[in-house]
Each structure stands twice: as structure tokens, then as C-alpha cells.
A and B are shown apart, each in its own frame.
Chain A
């Protein structure tokens, strides 16, 4: 396994405020196969979304999650029913990880009536109360205050639920993030901040945008513990997320996880990606790919051989092909939908 220090043992370091996450136990077969399937679903889904975009079936902005799959899947594995998930605009992976139907996600991308928001939200604005997924937000960093508000509701209701609030290295420089950190810690709100540090805020590298590039330290002046996690290793993500969720659920307040990751594609589909070299991207793909890593584990542990993995891939491709077909053939929303959902008549 050519992964060196960033293997399944997980995080490379933790700051002083946090207890080390400890070595996760070897995953069981069923669990690891599920992660493999879920990550592969996200990858194939996103590849297909990219293709549909190229064909003009998806409009506007489209931000792909390829390369970051281990994070959404690893964090999801520790979520209990009722825990909320909220993220920014690179949200397709989270929705699939939350269990939303690939058909409704893809059909929202194509702006069709079968989409999760009836085609009125688009790539960046999808929600599912059923899957505890609260969006899907297009304003960089806005989801951090909203996610902290979800945690405020949990705290208010004493319901033991945790709000998993994702944001990127770009959003980490927004002011409202720190306003939220402050209140989360003052009130000990059950929120886990998952920073997906994919190294580039659109085209600006973390080194160019951030005076402190170790984002897990961003909670230090609020007394929020944080740690760095290998976001390309689903088992490391899971272990860290479990620890952070336990902390929040126990009434100890927020926790920050900085997931070191990488996006293979551009910021959005229309990003020529001239701010980094092809070699840099290829190097990550070759040496740190989160799905290759699970494949290696599956083989190492004797859980699956190449043929078995290929079967999983074939099944996932069928699901994605079906979603794409649905998204292509689902009708556009009826014109009468233009004026619905502006105001609600009755309280939820």
C-alpha cells in the first residue's frame, strides 16, 4: 500500500486541545464494501454529471466532488437518524451519502420536475428533510451559521442530535464562520464542523489565501478542539468523525475536523484550472485516491477480489445510467410551478 504515513491509522496529528483519535479497528467486510460502493456511486455519478453538463443538459454552475468521496461517506457512517447534514455548493456527494435517490439529485441538476426541488433549486440548492439534508447553499460560508443554527435547535430541544456542518478551505476565511464558532462554543452547541480542505478556493491556493494554513487550528481562539484528518482515507475520516460526534453529543460543544483532501476536477465545470499543474493532479490521483485506497484494503483484507469490485462498479454504473436517463426524460416543471413555493400557507 503506497500510502506511507497516511494509511488507515488516520490523522497525522492533532493539536494540543484534542485527544488523539486512536487507531481505528480493522473494518468489517460488510462495512468496507458499503463504503466502497457509496464512494464509487458518488464518483460515477459525478463523472456522469460532468458528461451531461458537457452535453448541455445541466446548466449554470456544476461543482463536482470527485476526489473527496471519502469524507462524505466516512462522516455519514457515524450519523444517527435525526443528525443533520448541511454543506455548500459542492453538494452532490453529500446528498448521495445521505441516501437521497440519485434520480432526484440528477433530475434536479437537469432542472426537471423529478428533481428533489422540482427543478427550482439546481445543483447548488437541494434539500431533503427525509434524509436530514439541509442543503445545498450557494453563498460561500452561509451554511456554517445555518448549521450552527440547526445545532441551536438540537440544543433547544435537548434531542441529542448533532449537526454536521461542512465547508471548504475557501469558506474558512468568511467572517460569519468565526461568528458562528464563537456562539457555538459559548452555548456548547452540538455541531461538528467538517472543513474539506481541498487546497484550492476556486483558483486560489490555501497558501495564497490563508495566513494560518492549518485550518484545524482555526478554533483555537474560541477554545474549540480541532484536528487534522486524512480526508482521502475513509476509515480515518470515520474514526475522527465518531470522536467529534461523541464530543458534541456529550454536550461538550463544537469540534473541528480539517479533512485534507483534493478535488480532481476544476472548481466548477467552466474552470480551466491553470492555477495548478496536470502533474500535481495526476500525482494525487495515483498516490492518494480514496477509492483506490479502499480497493487496496478490500484486497489486503481478503474481502473482495478484482472481479467482485468490478461487479460493484457495474451495479453502480447501472444506477447512475438509470439516474441519468430519468434526469434526461423527466419533464421540465409545469409552468404553474413558477409561482408555487414562494410563500407557505401553513406551518410545517
Chain B
């Protein structure tokens, strides 16, 4: 004997109208036969038989309204019975499990939200993380950010044959911004791959090859073009470890210039730190100087997770010290205090770190000692370093190229309010791109972007000076 139950026909259906019976007592049915029609507020649906047998009873007459899901509506007997009585009985309608198909743990889950260990874990290791000590005698040499990135890729490709680079103009052209200069010559076209202009496609191919265990570096000519590939980055790369219960580990780096260059207009000038920083499963890095560019890119390539590595066109040509001839790897997830001060905390990443350092000099001339924190990693964010600084300075200014709403600065402010509320002597201030698409006209562009002047003004404002 098998009961036919009122089925749920959508994820949200709880009850419906049994509009019509297509069978009557005594009819034989087999799997797939339409036996009834059910109406919900959204649609009329046909109910198919799952089991074979003879209709022994119609338990709910047609026209009945508000029939609850899982109510027995008919009873079958006969041919199907033997099969359905097989060992390890199928979920035939024993009333108990039907009435409460959801295990009890649902209630527990509701009552006691699990604390995010990622937060807790970040609290532990983040504090412990530190840049490697420089061995005695290591020379520091001036290297452009561009070459530091190049060297990082070359060193990792020498180290691991699974690492390869793909993107537009990365090989024969030597890189649209010359970041991949000479890599083709050293590693050949199997490991330095020119792609067609097809961001969604090659980002997806990269993720697929990472699912198979390779270690791709996918270069976007700029992150603006990665908008076409953001589905591959988020839906296919960031979520797959979780969705596969830990089985598939796409280890991949998406890198390229991010933020505003100069006079290239709205579509080519955007900071994506906040966009990618929003997504669990991704790590997001945005370095400022050459040593961090090299050390963090090497760390990103070695990291088993998908990493978004945001560079800056306006920094590519700048020279900074880099330790020579050592395997320089900087830990992901650790901010760096670039300048110490007790008057106000300035927090930035990427190009804005340079702006903050200049602003700090101007502020010093006016008697305000600014502490400049370079986040370096956007996710996981080392907010503890920021909080510690604010506990000392009691004042906070965040600086970013992106838009303010739902941005990196907003997140920092939230963390500081959560963890250092009582230490704040003034409401935090945010400096960011004005809330408009980036204009082309030179004067409007300047007005739209964060500047040293705007940072100085904000710092003074939170210092009530």
C-alpha cells in the first residue's frame, strides 16, 4: 500500500487546491502518468505518479482547497507494492517523518548563531604575521613596481612548473604595461599564453585549469575589463571550494592594474577593492611599493585559494627598495605601519598610501603627527592593526580610490566602531572618489579624485583643527 501525498511543487509552496483528479478508484497507473492537477497561487501543475499500482482510494476529493503539502491524497496498491517493500524501505509515507521532514537541528541552528572562526582566526594569526626578517648582508636595490611584479612571476614560474601566465598581449607584445617583459623568452609559449580579447572566456578557462590542479596567473589588461569575467571569478572560483565540500581547490591569481590612471574616463578608471573584498572565498591584495608587490605576488601565487591582485598603473614606473637575491615572500593578511604617529590614523592601500605619506608630511608641518597604515591586503583585512592604532591616536581617516558607499573605508569604520568605539574622540572621516562616474575633463577629474589636500583637510577635521 502506498499513499500518494500532496506534493510541494515549488520551494515555497505550503498548500494548494486539488483541482482535478485524472484517475478514479480501480484505475491502474504507472510511473509518469498524470493523476491529478493542483493549483497554487502561481500556477496549475500536473501531478505524476511515481509508483505503479491500482488506485485503491481517493482521500481528498477534487475541488478541495488549502490542502497542506504532504497530506495523503490517494492510496495505491498492487503491482508496485513488491518493489516498494524492498529492503531498506523507501521513504514511503510513514507519518512521523512526513510531518516533520526537517531534522531538529534547524531549531538549534536558529537559536545559536555560530561564531565566524574566520574572524577569530584572523585575530590570531594576523597579529602573529610579520614580514620576514632580512638576513644580514642582504642588499636593498631600487626596482620599479613593474619589474618587481615581473620578477615575482619569473621566480615562481622557475620554482613551480604548474604556474603559467595567460592574458591579452602578455607574450609576444611583452605585456600591455610591460609587466610580463621577457617571460615569453624564458618560459616559452606554453607557459606564457597570449589570449584573444575574451575576458569571460579566458578567465573561465583559467579557473577550469585551476580546478584540474594547475596554478594560473590570469592577467587582465585592466580590472575594468574583468567586469566581463566577474562571474568566473566569483561564482566559479571563489565559491567552488565551499560548494564542493572542500574537494575542488582552484588556486589561481587574477591580476592587473586597478583604479584610475589619468584622463581615461569613467569606464577605464575604477577601484574594485570593495567589490572583490565583499566576497568570501577570495583573497584580495592591493600593494603599494615594490617590495610588497613582489613579496605579496609570490605569496598569492603560492596561496591555495583564488586571489585577486590589484595593481596600479600609476605606480608601475615608481622605484622602491627590494631585497636582492632572496626568496622574498610577504604574508597575505598583514597591514604595515608606514609611518608612526600619535595624532591621527590614516588608513589606505595601493596608490593612496603614497598620498597619505605626503599628507602626513604636511600635517607634521602643522603639528599633527599622523600614523599611516598600509592595509596591503583587503581580504582578509588586518583590522586589528587599525584598531590598535586608533586606540593610540583616537582619530581615524580612511582613504581609497573607490566610491564611498559600501566601500573599504566603510568596512574599516565599522570595525573600528565595533572594536574601539570608546577610544574615538571624533567621528571617523572617509576620503574617497566622489560619488560620480569618473569625469574626463581635467579639472573635474581632479575634483572627483582623492587628493593629498583632501586627506589633510579630513585629518584636520577629525583633529578639530
Contact = CB atoms under 8 A, between A and B. Distances in A.
Interface of A: 47-48, 50-57, 59-61, 66, 84, 86, 115-122, 125-129, 134-139, 142, 144-154, 156, 163, 175-176, 179-180, 182-183, 186, 264-265, 269-270, 272-274, 278, 285, 313-314, 317-318, 320-322, 324-325, 328, 331-332, 335-336, 338-348
A342 B119 CA distance: 12
B217 to A, nearest CB: 13
A339 B50 CA distance: 38
A145 B304 contact: no
Contacts of B244: 117, 121, 125-127, 135, 341
14 contacts: A117-B247, A120-B242, A138-B235, A142-B236, A146-B208, A146-B232, A146-B236, A272-B9, A273-B46, A314-B86, A324-B90, A335-B108, A346-B304, A347-B251
Given A54-B69, A56-B101, A182-B198, 16 more contacts: A117-B243, A119-B245, A121-B245, A136-B243, A142-B232, A148-B201, A148-B208, A149-B207, A149-B209, A176-B200, A179-B198, A180-B201, A265-B48, A270-B10, A272-B46, A344-B241
B44 interface: yes
A318 B235 CA distance: 37
Nearest to A159: B212
A137 B236 contact: yes
A59 B245 contact: no
B245 A118 contact: yes
A270 B251 contact: no
Interface string B244-266: 11111101000000000000000
A259 B84 CA distance: 34
Interface in B29-79: 31-32, 34, 43-46, 48, 50, 69-70
Contacts of B210: 149
A43 to B, nearest CB: 8
Contact of B86 (A55, A115, A122, A317): A317
A183 B199 CA distance: 12
B7 interface: yes
Contacts of B281: 342-343
A142 B304 contact: no
A57 B101 contact: yes
B366 interface: no
A136 B236 CA distance: 11
B205 interface: yes
Interface in B421-459: none
A325 B92 CA distance: 9
Given A147-B208, A278-B34, A153 B214 contact: yes
Contacts of A322: 87-88
Task: Across the A-B interface, give the 8 residue pairs with the lowest CB-CB distance, nearest first.
Answer: A149-B208, A145-B204, A179-B201, A54-B7, A153-B212, A270-B10, A117-B245, A146-B208
B86 A318 contact: yes
A149 to B, nearest CB: 2
B211 A134 contact: yes
Contact of A332 (B11, B84, B106): B106
Interface in B219-247: 231-232, 235-236, 240-247
Interface of B: 5, 7-11, 13, 31-32, 34, 43-46, 48, 50, 69-70, 82-84, 86-91, 97-98, 101-103, 105-106, 108-109, 112, 114, 116-118, 164, 190, 195-196, 198, 200-214, 231-232, 235-236, 240-249, 251, 280-281, 283, 302, 304-305
Given A179-B201, A341-B241, A341-B246, A272 B44 contact: yes
Contact of B231 (A142, A325, A342, A347): A142
Contacts of B243: 117, 120-122, 125, 127, 135-136
Nearest to A110: B101
Contacts of B242: 120, 341-342
Nearest to B103: A332
B280 to A, nearest CB: 5
Given A55-B8, A314-B83, A128 B90 contact: no
A288 to B, nearest CB: 14
Contact of B31 (A47, A59, A176, A273): A47
A183 B97 CA distance: 51
B248 A129 contact: yes
A151 to B, nearest CB: 8
Nearest to B210: A149
A129 B240 CA distance: 13
